[in-house]
Structure 1
Amino acid sequence: MTGTPPRLDGILETAVYVDDMAAAHAFYSDVLGLTRMVTGDRLFAYDAGPAQTLLVFHRGHTGEDVQTPGGVVPGHDTTGSSHFAFRIGRDALDDWRTYLKASGVDIISEVDWPAGGQSLYFRDPDGNVLEIAAPPLWPNFTASP
């Protein structure tokens, strides 16, 4: 390998795979308050923050390539549960803890990180592990926008 790679500007999309699209929509829209931007048989796309998209794919329905007017989207799929984290401000942690409990969402773990950040872990209806994370957690995560 030669040279320095060009700069990346961040993660644009994060994906999770689910078996029950209706239950997933109820959870991500009604419980977590995300706005659905795209609806389809294979996927839903949610606004997860400025320039950030959560893709919810229908497990078992995305393995084949898809031809679009702009080109081919390669097939992809997973089995088992996955994980991703939502970023929050430190002052929102208690509000999220209270809100999740009131919404009937069990917090399965709470972690105090060595750098001083805190995380709440819980599951979506398909068993995917979600995290609400308050800084500082990673060296590049010190504050919310």
Structure 2
Amino acid sequence: MLSDLTQTPVLQRGDLRKVHHIALHVRDMDASRHFYGQILGLHELTGAEVPKTLVKLVEAGEVANFVTPEGTVLDLFWKPNLTPPHPDPQQEFTRAGHLAFDIDPEGFDRAVEVLRSHSVPIDSGPVTRPTGRGIYFYDPDGFLLEIRCDP
């Protein structure tokens, strides 16, 4: 059977250029917009910046779009009837592990202070590893995020 797989076309290294967007389902759009826009400081797309396919949903308050510093779009889809996350935030509710944001090492401690000052639930950290420093925390819907920096 393996020989059949080796004959099947596959994408080559470099065919995929970058992450295009990440879509998250959120229960409380206001809390999520505040978290991603005000606490994490991501730019919310408005007006002509909103993808044409999402304009009506954005106008209806069902979608909010943010962009990360390197240009990846984060789409928040309002799902008010989502099952609440497990009371124990370490019980994963999705197959996605976490979303990690990179930060300049000089800004890492300030990022930790911002999270703490907003009482953002911290999962673990800050941790220091040979690959850098990181802190893991939860968004308003219990999705695990990381802010990390190189050594």
- TM-score w.r.t. the length of structure 1 is 0.68
- AA partner of residue 102 (structure 1): S
Corresponding residue of 2:16:
8
Q: How many residues end up aligned between the 2 structures?
A: 118
Structure 2, unpaired ranges of 5+: 1-7, 51-57, 82-91
Root-mean-square deviation (Å): 2.5
Map 1:50-61; keep pairs closer than 5 Å.
Answer: 50-59=70-79
Call closer, same or farther: CA 1:97–1:4 in 2, change over 3 Å: closer
Report the CA distance between 1:11 and its aligned residue. 0.8
Structure 1, unpaired ranges of 5+: 62-78, 137-145
**Runs of 4+ off more than 6 Å:** none
Greater fraction of residues in strand:
1
Corresponding residue of 2:28:
20
Query: What SS does the corresponding residue of 1:25 show, helix, strand or coil?
Result: helix
Matched, 1:112 2:125: no
1:27–1:125 contact (8 Å) kept in structure 2: yes
Corresponding residue of 2:111:
96
Matched, 1:45 2:65: yes
2:28–2:80 contact (8 Å) kept in structure 1: no
Larger radius of gyration: 2
* Identity level (%): 30
Matched, 1:35 2:34: no
Q: Deviations over 1:12-54 (max 9, x none)?
A: 2122221111111111112111221143443211021132111
- TM-score w.r.t. the length of structure 2 is 0.66
Corresponding residue of 2:145:
130
